[in-house]
Structure 1
Amino acid sequence: MSFARRFIAAIALVGVCLLTLPVSASSASSAWASGNEEEGTIDAGIIWKFNPETGKSEPKAGTTPTVEDPNQYMADTHCRADGPDTKDPGCDALDCPPKTSGADEGTPVIWKEAPKAITNPGWTDWLPVSGPTCLYDTKPENVLANIAARILNDFRQLPINPGTLQAQPFPNTLKGGPTNFYTTPQQQTFDLTILGQNIHLTATPTNYTYNYGDGTTLGPTPQAGYPIPQTQWLTTNTRSSHTYTQTGNYPTTLTTTYTGTYSVNNGPPLPINGTLTLTTPPTTIHVWKTEIALVADTCDQNPKSWGCPQAKIG
């Protein structure tokens, strides 16, 4: 046989061999599952395996990784006896005895995963493993402690209403007379998801600081004040009232301090170690002066008489 014919035959033979290399998807899946079951690990990318018993990513045999596993993993503490919840019935049924004599028992956990590049990610169930598994050698991440470490920052990022500052009379009041200031406090609640857990947060107003705009303030004080009847506006001093000594226009504000509590997965309310302080936008109050004079006519008799609405000023 000539060289050219032998070369063509060799190419044909290679082509036949190439056609016989692929295997069915089901065979590949079975081989993959069998290999991982034997090793007790799960593939996590091309060159990484994640071991649920140790909570660590490990290079596959025969590989030399040049980059880290792109995923991060969290051992969800739902399965812990002192954890926030035990919704998965497998948590109670799963037994994690020591692997060797004298060793510690394993901890039932539910593994979550997320891309490592994301900070504070939304965790998803780690597949193909579903349900609780036993974690050995390392302790599961304490989700409750991690939530407690960040809850104050989350609290301060919430769109909490700073409240409103009310005045009587308003917008015009009188120099030398009491002006009643007050607010109507409201407790506010929010439902959040933090580290994969359901958080119910309550913000409660506890202290107030009144800034009357003329350089004087009241507070911090627990006094929210209260409205009074119009007949008492010029005669009654409340604990949050203020008397202006000069006429003018004054920007008034109210600063409210909020404390917070939060519960994890419908658990008991826990205090937030810190407060949130919010100030209302300025509200201008106009302070007028009063003058007294003797007049002979009423405004009905003489609408242009001194002090009547139709009288000329100046």
Structure 2
Amino acid sequence: MSSLSARLVAVGILLVSVSLYPAPSWAANSPSPGTGFTDRSISVGAEFTINPTTGMPSTNLTTASEDPNQYMADTHCRADGPDTKDPGCDALDCPATTPAGEEGTPVIWKEAPKAITNPGWTDWIPVSGPTCLYDPLPENVLANIAARILNDFRQLPVNPGNLEAQPFPHTLKGGPTNFYATAADQTFDLTILGQAVHLTATPTSYTYTYGDGTTLGPTPAAGYTIPETEWLNNQTRTSHTYTDTGNYQAAVTTSFTGTYSVNNGPPLPINGTLDITTPTKTIHVWKTEKALVADTCQENPNSWGCPGTETR
């Protein structure tokens, strides 16, 4: 008894995108009230919140105005500073990192409410540290790094991941094709202006280009893989339905935001994003036709619907 079979063929395409968030602003701090010394602290207008459990700062990539605190790297642990009894001053040595280099400067990260326009010495509360800064003018080094960190960030070999599609490489006209991106967090250890900088790149948003003139994004949705049984009837947030047959070039642009820490200091947001687009993938979109046939392609390679044969 002969078997009956119906055959489908499909083709599709895919694209992705990326975007990033703002970073910190830096300003010189005014003299500490009551010390009688020129202040060597570094004020950081960054987007921080303090974890109440660990006491460590973390970045809040929304808007700087939402953070009620201002921050500084207190350099008063120096031997010639006005407050060598500051907690932590004796807890860290900063030996030279090169044979002819200078010793570093121990600093402690502190915070004070932004509501205080000119915080007094008792208004600054230790947050983390001590850590070391290596520069003849440690009060300038963080501002100098902040001025160049976005450019350094954009030179890093960040992997954009891949754009994936289901089904692939063939998909069906009028049916959903599921697209998703595979970008991941990446870390880098750099030396900038003699300081050890740890940088983290985080995929934050995606822009999908489907190749038929339509796009999706920027969106925080990276998409996800779905079981094969759901390919033709599951519409995901990043799915796309092609309305015409053809071959389409799809891609995704991923927007990475970044944070960096200097010599084990708190994470600071980078003011800008790194956008990377994946190589395109060709999606072959086909329409479906159904017919009753008397045998399979293995039994008769020239049967209707088999590869290389003409459709009627």
TM-score, normalised relative to structure 2 = 0.57
1:95 aligns with 2:80: yes
- How many angstroms does 1:237 deviate by? 0.8
Q: 1:260 aligns with which of 258, 261, 265?
A: 258
* Corresponding letter in the other structure for 2:285: V
Mapped contact 2:173–2:242 kept (Cα < 8 A) = yes
Q: Tell me the SS of whatever aligns to 1:186.
A: coil
1:166 paired residue number: 164
- Taking only aligned residues, the RMSD between alpha carbons, in angstroms, comes to 3.5
How many pairs align? 203
2:190 paired residue number: 192
Q: 2:249 aligns with which of 244, 248, 251?
A: 251
Q: Tell me the SS of whatever aligns to 1:190.
A: strand
Which structure 2 residue ranges, 5 or more long, are not aligned? 1-39, 43-71, 83-93, 106-135
- How many angstroms does 1:177 deviate by? 1.0
- How many angstroms does 1:210 deviate by? 0.4
Q: 2:146 aligns with which of 141, 148, 168?
A: 148
Mapped contact 2:183–2:254 kept (Cα < 8 A) = no
1:233 aligns with 2:218: no
- How many angstroms does 1:185 deviate by? 2.6
Q: Mark the CA change 1:271 to 1:154 in structure 2 (over 3 Å): closer, same or farther.
A: same
Mapped contact 2:255–2:274 kept (Cα < 8 A) = yes
Q: Which has the higher contact order (CA 8 A, sep 6+)?
A: 2
Mapped contact 1:84–1:265 kept (Cα < 8 A) = no
Residue by residue over 1:135-154, the C-alpha shift from the partner in whole angstroms, topping out at 9 and shown as x without a partner, is xxx97651011111111111
* Corresponding letter in the other structure for 1:248: G
Mapped contact 1:147–1:194 kept (Cα < 8 A) = yes
Q: Mark the CA change 1:145 to 1:293 in structure 2 (over 3 Å): closer, same or farther.
A: same
* Corresponding letter in the other structure for 1:263: S
- How many angstroms does 1:84 deviate by? 8.0
More helix by share: 1
Q: Find the aligned partners of 1:289 and 1:164 in 2 and give their Cα distance.
A: 26
Residue by residue over 1:119-141, the C-alpha shift from the partner in whole angstroms, topping out at 9 and shown as x without a partner, is xxxx96767xx5589xxxx9765
- How many angstroms does 1:309 deviate by? 5.1
- How many angstroms does 1:283 deviate by? 1.2
Q: Find the aligned partners of 1:248 and 1:310 in 2 and give their Cα distance.
A: 17
The 5-angstrom pairing of residues 26-65 of structure 1 reads none
* Corresponding letter in the other structure for 1:174: L
TM-score, normalised relative to structure 1 = 0.56
1:205 paired residue number: 203
More strand by share: 2
Mapped contact 1:304–1:312 kept (Cα < 8 A) = no
Q: Find the aligned partners of 1:159 and 1:85 in 2 and give their Cα distance.
A: 34
- How many angstroms does 1:266 deviate by? 0.7
Q: Mark the CA change 1:146 to 1:295 in structure 2 (over 3 Å): closer, same or farther.
A: same
Higher Rg: 1
Residue by residue over 1:239-266, the C-alpha shift from the partner in whole angstroms, topping out at 9 and shown as x without a partner, is 1001111111111110001100000001
2:277 paired residue number: 279
Residue by residue over 1:200-231, the C-alpha shift from the partner in whole angstroms, topping out at 9 and shown as x without a partner, is 00000000000000000000000000000111
2:130 paired residue number: none
Q: Mark the CA change 1:239 to 1:298 in structure 2 (over 3 Å): closer, same or farther.
A: same
